[in-house]
């Protein structure tokens, strides 16, 4: 398997050579085998383990297991603990989705702060087959059948070409130890059923099932990319964005026999759910409308117009008192006094704390908001103009948070700092504000 992986990397991921790799390591079979394999191949690796604290003492057992393995093998290791249940509750997420968000957010932080080039996860061929069949059994669209990508930005999944059997065999041959993967019981029941009953049947119908399946999935990925292309090409012809609203030209849209598919593709990210109502708008009377949690779609003569609606959250202000170190809602921000400024990404700013008016206010942007873009002394700019220049989509604008000191904008969070609060030679107290 080492040799096969070596060829696989040369072939599919040649860019991994001489790079700093962070291996996501739960302590389960797959990730322990991945760690062992990459050590054999003499890559520059470190392990990252998340303790989600979902199974009490067992979770800490996993953590200790990974730490001990790293120490024994002299591999750097990063460990963090999450209050996953609290996070899930705060953001109204399933435990599984919460764990995934926490995990990947933390990986990206490590990537940046510790200068890793890539994050590696140990997903394998059977994971993809099982997910495909789970989604198929529940009902799904194309995106539910295409599987997890082998390469997605900085995340690489080098074991996707290997089956669970190969991985288990390797662990057996090399005396690799592991701990059982954590996953919730109902998901586990479903996966086990698929693993032990359904997949063997498919292999009985075709002994080459796994490799045929991998081809199938790669064809479906190609189709999915073409669907995305079609969606974008037709969007450019049929939709125009103006300030806060997008206009869908019905005369042009209805020339397409499959116009519903396009409406679905464009509007799905705005969380509509009553799709029949959305489709029916197309030939409703002017003035008829459909709502999602944050958006309204209205029929107006020859157009469907999508606009944001101001719900409580859009109006709500979150106050941050002096001395607070961490804010978790509506965003995760940390506040920390530092002695010097370092090179910063868009996810952190340094401000002169003495210029701030506490409590700071975290809120959504409002019509009329103005700021002084960092580096443009004395010049002010409307936020609406900034969004336009930066080509923000409607959704990006609505999701954008503003950190204010009184009326003054301190930070368009994650995008641009205000000039007025920047560090100067006279600054005495430096505050670092970090978006996580």
Q: Which residues are annotated as a binding site for ATP?
A: 26-31
Nearest approach, Cβ of residue 250 and a second copy (Å):
18
The nearer residue to a second copy, 213 or 365, going by C-beta atoms, is: 213
- N-terminal to C-terminal alpha carbon distance within the chain: 38
The nearer residue to a second copy, 193 or 296, going by C-beta atoms, is: 193
Size of the site for a second copy (CB under 8 A): 47
The nearer residue to a second copy, 252 or 427, going by C-beta atoms, is: 252
| Coil vs helix vs strand at 436 | coil
Mark residues 144-173: x for contact with a second copy by CB under 8 A, - for none.
-x----------------------------
Nearest approach, Cβ of residue 146 and a second copy (Å):
10
Interaction with a second copy in 119-148: which residues (CB under 8 A)?
Answer: 134, 136-142, 145
The only residue of 11, 173, 204, 340 in contact with a second copy, by rule CB under 8 A:
204
Nearest approach, Cβ of residue 224 and a second copy (Å):
7
Tell me: does residue 276 bind a second copy (CB under 8 A).
Answer: no
The nearer residue to a second copy, 264 or 415, going by C-beta atoms, is: 264
The only residue of 3, 11, 197, 276 in contact with a second copy, by rule CB under 8 A:
197
Interaction with a second copy in 247-266: which residues (CB under 8 A)?
Answer: 256-258, 260-262, 264-265
Nearest approach, Cβ of residue 278 and a second copy (Å):
14
The only residue of 190, 320, 423, 430 in contact with a second copy, by rule CB under 8 A:
190
Nearest approach, Cβ of residue 191 and a second copy (Å):
11
**Span near a second copy by CB under 8 A; candidates 96-104, 153-161, 187-195, 324-332:** 187-195
Q: What is the helix (H) or strand (E) element at residue 398, kind and residue range?
A: helix 394-399
State the virtual CA torsion across 93, 99, 105, 109 in degrees, nearest 10.
Answer: 150
Tell me: does residue 196 bind a second copy (CB under 8 A).
Answer: no
430 and 340 in contact (C-beta within 8 Å)? Answer: yes
User: Which residue is it, tokens 């008829």?
Assistant: 288
Mark residues 215-244: x for contact with a second copy by CB under 8 A, - for none.
xx--xx-xxxxxx-xxx-xx----------
User: Which residue is it, tokens 């300030």?
Assistant: 243
Three-state secondary structure along 99-126? HHHHHHHHHHHHHHHCCCCEEECCCCHH
Sign of the torsion angle spanned by Cα atoms 221, 222, 228, 230: negative
User: Which residue is it, tokens 């997605």?
Assistant: 152
Nearest approach, Cβ of residue 361 and a second copy (Å):
42
**Residues 380, 419: Cα–Cα separation, whole Å:** 9
Neighbours of 38 (CB within 10 A): 22
Nearest approach, Cβ of residue 14 and a second copy (Å):
17
Sheet holding 295-300, edge to edge: 239-242, 245-249, 303-308, 295-300, 289-291
The only residue of 40, 184, 192, 212 in contact with a second copy, by rule CB under 8 A:
212
Angle at 264 between CA 262 and CA 270, to 5 degrees: 125
* CA proximity to 84, closest of 114, 50, 112: 50
107 and 24 in contact (C-beta within 8 Å)? Answer: yes
Omega of the bond leading into 329 within 30 degrees of 0 (cis) = no
Tell me: does residue 195 bind a second copy (CB under 8 A).
Answer: no
What ranges in 74-208 are assigned the alpha helix state H? 84-90, 95-113, 125-138, 164-173, 185-193, 199-205
Sign of the torsion angle spanned by Cα atoms 407, 329, 91, 434: positive
**Residues 418, 33: Cα–Cα separation, whole Å:** 48
Nearest approach, Cβ of residue 227 and a second copy (Å):
5
The only residue of 73, 105, 206, 293 in contact with a second copy, by rule CB under 8 A:
206
Tell me: does residue 192 bind a second copy (CB under 8 A).
Answer: no
**Residues 88, 95: Cα–Cα separation, whole Å:** 6
Strand pairing class (239-242; 20-24): unpaired
The nearer residue to a second copy, 127 or 418, going by C-beta atoms, is: 127
Nearest approach, Cβ of residue 281 and a second copy (Å):
18
Tell me: does residue 198 bind a second copy (CB under 8 A).
Answer: yes
What residue ranges bind a second copy (CB under 8 A)? 134, 136-142, 145, 190, 193-194, 197-198, 201-202, 204-206, 208-209, 211-213, 215-216, 219-220, 222-227, 229-231, 233-234, 256-258, 260-262, 264-265
């Amino acid at each position: 398997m080492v040799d096969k992986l070596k060829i696989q990397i040369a072939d599919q991921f040649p860019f991994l050579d001489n790079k700093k790799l962070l291996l996501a390591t739960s302590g389960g079979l797959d990730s322990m085998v991945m760690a062992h394999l990459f050590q054999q191949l003499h890559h520059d690796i470190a392990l990252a383990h998340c303790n989600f604290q979902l199974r009490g003492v067992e979770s800490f057992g996993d953590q200790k297991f990974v730490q001990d393995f790293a120490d024994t093998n002299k591999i750097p290791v990063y460990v963090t603990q999450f209050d996953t249940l609290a996070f899930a509750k705060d953001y109204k997420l399933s435990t599984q989705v919460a764990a995934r968000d926490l995990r990947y957010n933390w990986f990206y932080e490590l990537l940046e702060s510790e200068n890793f080039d890539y994050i590696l996860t140990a997903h394998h061929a059977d994971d993809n087959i099982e997910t495909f069949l789970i989604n198929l059994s529940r009902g799904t669209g194309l995106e539910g059948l295409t599987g997890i990508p082998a390469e997605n930005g900085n995340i690489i999944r080098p074991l996707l070409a290997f089956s669970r059997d190969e991985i288990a065999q390797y662990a057996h041959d090399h005396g690799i130890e592991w701990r059982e993967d954590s996953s919730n019981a109902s998901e586990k029941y479903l996966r086990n059923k698929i693993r032990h009953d359904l997949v063997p049947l498919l292999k009985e119908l075709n002994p080459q099932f796994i490799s045929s399946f991998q081809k199938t999935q790669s064809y479906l990925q190609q189709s999915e990319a073409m669907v995305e292309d079609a969606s974008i090409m037709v969007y450019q012809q049929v939709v125009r964005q103006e300030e806060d609203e997008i206009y869908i030209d019905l005369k042009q849209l209805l020339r397409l026999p499959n116009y519903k598919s396009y409406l679905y593709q464009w509007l799905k990210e705005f969380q509509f759910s009553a799709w029949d109502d959305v489709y029916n708008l197309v030939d409703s009377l002017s003035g008829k409308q459909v709502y999602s949690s944050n958006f309204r779609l209205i029929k107006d003569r020859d157009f469907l117009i999508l606009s944001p609606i101001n719900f409580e959250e859009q109006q709500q202000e979150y106050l941050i008192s002096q001395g607070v170190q961490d804010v978790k809602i509506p965003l995760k921000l940390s506040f920390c006094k530092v002695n010097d400024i370092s090179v910063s990404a868009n996810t952190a700013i340094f401000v002169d704390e003495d210029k701030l008016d506490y409590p700071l206010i975290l809120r959504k942007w409002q019509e009329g908001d103005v700021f002084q873009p960092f580096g443009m002394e004395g010049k002010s700019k409307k936020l609406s103009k900034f969004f336009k220049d930066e080509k923000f989509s409607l959704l990006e604008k609505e999701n954008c948070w503003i950190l204010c000191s009184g009326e003054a904008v301190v930070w368009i969070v994650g995008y641009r700092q205000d000039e007025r609060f920047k560090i100067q030679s006279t600054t005495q107290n430096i505050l670092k504000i970090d978006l996580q």
